[in-house]
Amino acid sequence: MELLKENWIRLAYGAASVGIVWAAYHFRIEVLSDKDTFDRFSYIGGVATFIGLLITVCEVLQAISISKGIRAEARALLAEARKVDRATLFSECLLMIDRINDDVIDRRFGTALQGLQQVRRSFLRAATPSTSPEALSGKLAEVEELLQESVRAAAAASRSKRGSVDIQQALLAAKEILEQLISGRTANHVP
């Protein structure tokens, strides 16, 4: 059945060609009332040319039909690849948040700030309107401000333990929001 669906144009012009040959044979007497050989050859050549034209036009239509199918399949594959890429970026964001938390524990606020900026860039690349990025973006901005304060405070003096705890709590809240976004996306995604 799939073979018929893919080659319906070829089947149609094959049937039309057989019909034209039958009609040319059936009406040859009326068309070729005089029996001159050159006229006969010309008549057969005209019929063959018409069949060739029909086949050419139908093959162009077949190629157009195939290219539309390929285009639709390519778009579907590209959309699926984008979903996988987004899921990978979200997973990387979670991993980076854990590393940032380790950096905060070890009081490496500059490294933590660089990691957080990478998380923001990765998240913005992966975010879509359906992921509602505003909540996470707001929480990441809060963490970034706290980290910038910590970098400045570390240059002047040691940051208090309470400041590190605030950063960790904000990081964990951002991670929780990201995990909710991911679980919401994967619940709707059926591979």
Mean pLDDT, residues 159-169: 70
* Residue 70: Cβ within 10 Å count: 10
143-148 long-range contacts, CB within 8 A, separation 24+: 143/116, 143/167, 143/170, 143/171, 143/174, 144/113, 144/116, 144/117, 144/120, 146/170, 147/104, 147/109, 147/112, 147/113, 147/116, 148/113
| Cα–Cα distances in angstroms (integers) from residue 156 to residues 55, 76, 151, 159, in the given order | 83, 55, 9, 9
Range picked from 98-102, 121-125, 134-138, 145-149 for highest mean pLDDT: 98-102
**Tokens found for residue 117:** 């900026």
Residue that wins the pLDDT comparison between 149 and 189: 149
User: Over 90: is that where the pLDDT of 104 sits?
Assistant: no
User: Over 60: is that where the pLDDT of 81 sits?
Assistant: yes
What is the C-alpha separation between 168 and 173, in angstroms, rounded? 9
